[in-house]
Amino acid sequence: MTDSPAIRLPLDPKEQPILDRILDIRDRLSLLKADKSTYVKSQDVLTLYNQINEQVEILNEIRKEKRDEQNRVDIVLDDCYQLISLFFMTVGRTQEAPAVYSAVSTVKRLLDHLREAGFYSRKDLISIGKKLEEWQGSVERGREHHSPHLLTLLEARMAVCRTTLHQLEHELSHLTPDLEPIYEELVSILRSLSGSNARSKFPVQEVRQFHTRLLEIKEKTHDSFTLPEKDDRSAEDRYADKLRQMQAEHDAAGNTAPEGRKVVSDVLQRCLIWVDLIQQKQGKIDERFQDTYDKLREIRNQLDRLTLTQSWSLRETDLWMYQRQLDRVDEARVDGNFLDAEGKPADLHAQRTLLYLLRKSYAYIYQLIIASEPVSEALLPIYNQLMTLRRCLWEVKNSGGVDSPRELYPYSMKLNSIDNMRVDGKFMVGSDIPEGQGSVTTLLAECFELAYDLRTAAEEHQENEDSAMKDTVKDEGATPAVGVGVQ
């Protein structure tokens, strides 16, 4: 994903001019990303995108006889495509093939980490599977408009993702309907325990509550699962042994999926040992890895905050900084191990804690990418206002509507002010027509329709009330006359 400490093949002198040009393109992309004084224009992105594709064509010609070559040129090219991908999302072209590049790269990392962690929810796999199908559609639609090299690269990466995804799905294939809820709860608890373990202040009471719940599940499933009794070894040794046992059983089984009860039993045992381990550690990490831990936790916290304020504060290219930092940490591992300055691996607690933070951060990036709206950042303020208006109007409608059309005046005034911003039916920024016109126009029409329905219902309600009041007055006015006649 980025420049990495891994050893690369020496650069072919013929490729040096290509490297120089793509380094220049990467610098220009970085400058464009850093410029927050104006919104990013599609034409600026397309110009740099086409320049990258030209260099790729030249590179492919040089490498006709050495297709598997990998050196710094490929690393910088990957940087450029990652940035271009995020720029395509920033300008609202989220459904096009280049926008898929960053998403697929993130999902590949995420799937590898899920497999390495050894536990995951079926919901995770379903979500990723659906997105891979959507991205395949984007690639198919882009065959006539985008670089064949890019499309081939995307298809190859998605094929790798699908292979890993199918392997993970296979591992859960024997979970029966009665075991599925137990498994999902255990995965949720294990993740929550890992999250608690990585807080600034260790939540003792919360972890105890999780422990109590695990003991309840153990008691409930006592007749179904054979769980080993606690021995005198440390929790760290027991957890390491459990992971080794699971790996050995997996290797011995080959392509045979584990029996459902075995899957649940393994996760339950891991939960029980892990809760013992983190209670012993009390949130303290091996000091050799304190800097890496602090860095990953800060990245996770920043990404967590972005998920809460995304629609108002995130420019998709901002994710590049986080991806770059995470990629460097991930690629610095050796055989999956985090190493200290002397090349010595971390203890099991540190390894699993750092892996959790790494995986969680990539999961946040995945969430932010798939939540990207098909609207240019130039139109996002209007789009976000309309989203808020639509949500408010739906809440008004679901709560019974309004009693009088006057109550809709604030909504109508805001909608009319937004509608009046259009020029010949388009939302303009200067002389430019930003991407996402259809999405914003559709959203505006939905808001007008909701307001119209609420106004119509309010008018009918008011007419019914007025009619009922007239009937009441008429009846009350007729009663005394009847009384006089009787007298």
Query: What are the tens digits of pLDDT across the range 408-439?
Result: 999 999 999 999 999 988 998 878 888 889 99
pLDDT of residue 242: 75
- The residue written with tokens 């011995």 in the block is 252
CA distance 401 to 425: 30
CA distance 479 to 487: 13
Residue 3 has pLDDT above 50, yes or no: no
> Burial code of 275-299, b = ≥16 C-beta within 10 A, e = fewer?
bbbbbebebebbebbeebbeebbeb
- pTM summary value: 0.84
Residue 65 has pLDDT above 80, yes or no: no
Q: How far is CA 461 from the centre of its chain?
A: 45
CA distance 189 to 255: 28
Q: Do 397 and 454 form a contact (C-beta atoms < 8 A)? A: yes
pLDDT category at 5 given cuts 50, 70, 90 is very low
pLDDT category at 70 given cuts 50, 70, 90 is confident
Question: How confident is the model over 85-111, as a mean pLDDT?
Answer: 93
pLDDT of residue 134: 94
pLDDT digits (tens, 9 = 90+) for 122-133: 999 999 999 999
pLDDT of residue 69: 67
For 173, phi then psi, to 5°, come to: -65, -20
Looking at the chain, the whole-number percentage of residues with pLDDT higher than 70 is: 89
pLDDT of residue 478: 55
pLDDT of residue 320: 92
Looking at the chain, the whole-number percentage of residues with pLDDT higher than 90 is: 57
Q: Do 26 and 83 form a contact (C-beta atoms < 8 A)? A: yes
